[in-house]
Amino acid sequence: MLILYFMYRTETEIIYKIIFGRIVKWITFDHVSIGTAIKRYYCENEHYLKKFSMFKSDCPSFMRRKYNGVAAIQKREIHNVCEQHCVGHRKDLAVKDSRSTLY
C-alpha cells in the first residue's frame, strides 16, 4: 500500500499545506509500480508533474536507490526533485540532537 500526501504552497502564502492524495493498493511493490502510481495521480488530477519537487519515503531501500529507485527515476524526467528518506527517523534524530544541545 502506498499513501500519497502532497505538500504545496501558493505564490501568495508563506505556510505550506499538506493534503491527502490517495491510498494506492497493488500486487507488485517495486520502483516501477510506485513511480507509475505517482504519475497516474498527477495526470488524473490535472496537476503539472514538473512542479513535483520532493520525494519522501519511509519504505525500503529500493525507493532511494541511486540509479533505479523511485526518486532516481523521477529525477530523469523532473530534474529538480530531491529525496528524503525515513521522515520519522529524521524527526527523532532532530529531537535527540536538540536535547543533547540543551543538557
Whole-angstrom distance, CA of residue 42 vs CA of residue 52: 9
Question: What pLDDT score does 3 carry?
Answer: 74
Structural domain of residue 23, as residue ranges? 2-101
Write down the pLDDT at residue 31. 74
Predicted pLDDT of residue 56: 67
Question: End-to-end distance of the chain based on CA atoms, in angstroms?
Answer: 41
Q: What is the number of structural domains in the chain?
A: 1
| pTM summary value | 0.54
What's the burial of 56, exposed, middle or buried (CB within 10 Å: 0-12/13-18/19+)? middle
C-beta atoms surrounding 38 within 10 Å: 21
> What pLDDT sits at residue 69?
77
Low-confidence ranges of the chain (pLDDT < 50): none
